[in-house]
Amino acid sequence: MSDVVAEKPRPGTGPGTPVLARLSVLDRFLPVWIVAAMALGLLLGRVVPGLDDALSAVEVGSVSLPIAVGLLLMMYPVLAKVRYSETSRVTADRRLLVSSLVLNWLIGPALMFALAWLLLPDSPEYRTGLVIVGLARCIAMVLIWNDLSCGDREAAAVLVAINSVFQILAFAALGWFYLQVLPGWLGLETTSAEFSVGAIVVSVLVFLGIPLLAGFLTRTLGERARGRAWYEGTFLPRIGPVALYGLLFTIVVLFALQGDAITSQPGDVARIALPLLAYFVIMFGGSFALGKAIGLSYAKTSTLSFTATGNNFELAIAVAIGTFGATSGQALAGVVGPLIEVPVLVAFVHVALWAGRRFFPGDPTVPARAGRPR
């Protein structure tokens, strides 16, 4: 887990130092910082008048500029760590690719649809918002969770890129299917919605395209100029903390933007949270079990699990607001998504690390307790 923040131990520590002492302060207490960032954002959004309007005054692809900046800062260091020359081994692994596509574009949306109708049968707005969340597959923050769990970075980059392409091609069609066609077949209430394909394209190009290009160029030019040893031993540790600073900044801004909506409707938030929590637990547990069952390594199993479990809440919120309005129930459902996803997936990082040591004995990709050397 620690190599997201620092690729080598802190100064003054050595092999005899307890594992916990070898981690940076940011890394040791990351769950605390994330919860604190969420609480700070909610507090700011609640007590500072007009803050949400100020933060959303400028948008990039229907996403607030401060959030866009935070996402780019968060993703760049992670994508700069990817060894792009090794991505060919990922594309050759059909078990991983097929499993990811099935989990992301068949199982995930269908599961969210079922849970939304099962647990929110009398709340059409919240139900629709959850369906939209289920269709927005994660292309940003999942890279952080994958790196924290010591998943396969190259596999994560490839799977995120594939999800991005499918998001552009399939989001609108799947939205139509799950909101109109499938409910009609089942004799359920249908919902009319038109999604902006242009907004989806802009979201993918900005939040994945820019940091992916920057990360690729940084590694290519850095290794060419100074060699891999310098790049991974000196340069990456210097930029590594930026990813988590960007994560914390993004969380503060996101919850500041939506703090009033969340804190003013605690009962509705709790109702929306239940199917979301069930979704994350089922998707992560099922994906991890599948990876183990089909013979993937721990690193690839962890990557498969997080890329299948995480959702693109930035896109889901933007689509819900653009289609139904900022004060709609659909938008609130999108906002509650990261409120549940962020702490749950942080917990899943620890679950993955424990499960790796428990269920993958002898697997060289299982990290040591202090984090994997790489």
Q: How many CA atoms lie within 13 A of 124 on its CB side?
A: 10
Pure H helices in 120-196: 124-135, 142-148, 153-176, 182-185
List residues bridging with 197 in a β-sheet.
none
The share of the chain scoring above pLDDT 90, in percent, equals 42
Q: How many CA atoms lie within 13 A of 1 on its CB side?
A: 26
Describe the crossing of helices 329-359 and 313-324 by its angle, rounded to 10 degrees. Answer: 170
Q: Which of 16-20, 306-310, 343-347 has the highest mean pLDDT?
A: 306-310
Domain boundaries in the chain? Answer: 23-359
Of 77-81, 211-215, 252-256, 361-365, least confident by mean pLDDT is 252-256
Of 32-46, 131-145, 150-164, 249-263, least confident by mean pLDDT is 249-263
- 373 in helix, strand or coil? coil
Fold designation for 23-359: Na+/H+ antiporter like fold (1.20.1530)
Both tokens of 184, joined, read: 């009609």
pLDDT-derived band at 58, boundaries 50, 70, 90: confident
- 91 in helix, strand or coil? helix
- Summary mean pLDDT of the chain: 84
List residues bridging with 170 in a β-sheet.
none
The whole-number average pLDDT for the span 297-318 is 90
The whole-number average pLDDT for the span 154-163 is 91
pLDDT above 80 (res 240): yes
The total of other beta-carbon atoms located within 10 Å of residue 85's CB is 12
The whole-number average pLDDT for the span 120-144 is 90
* pLDDT at position 152: 94
* pLDDT at position 364: 94
**For 159-198, what is each residue's pLDDT tens digit?**
988 888 888 888 888 989 999 999 999 999 988 777 666 7
* pLDDT at position 244: 84
Q: Which amino acid is at 178?
A: Y
* pLDDT at position 336: 86
Higher pLDDT, 14 or 222: 222
Residue 125's Cα: distance from chain center in Å?
24
* pLDDT at position 342: 85
Q: Which residues contact 357 (CB under 8 A, 6 or more apart)?
A: 366
Spatial distance between the Cα atoms of 7 and 248, rounded to a whole number of angstroms: 20
- 110 in Cβ contact with 282 (< 8 Å): no
pLDDT-derived band at 6, boundaries 50, 70, 90: very low
pTM of the model: 0.81
* pLDDT at position 184: 93
- 156 in Cβ contact with 224 (< 8 Å): no
pLDDT-derived band at 25, boundaries 50, 70, 90: low
pLDDT above 50 (res 32): yes
Q: Which residues contact 268 (CB under 8 A, 6 or more apart)?
A: 126, 329, 332
The whole-number average pLDDT for the span 206-231 is 90
* pLDDT at position 314: 72
pLDDT above 50 (res 20): no
* pLDDT at position 94: 93
List residues bridging with 311 in a β-sheet.
137
Of 55-64, 82-91, 319-328, least confident by mean pLDDT is 55-64
**For 268-306, what is each residue's pLDDT tens digit?**
999 999 999 999 999 999 999 999 999 999 999 999 999
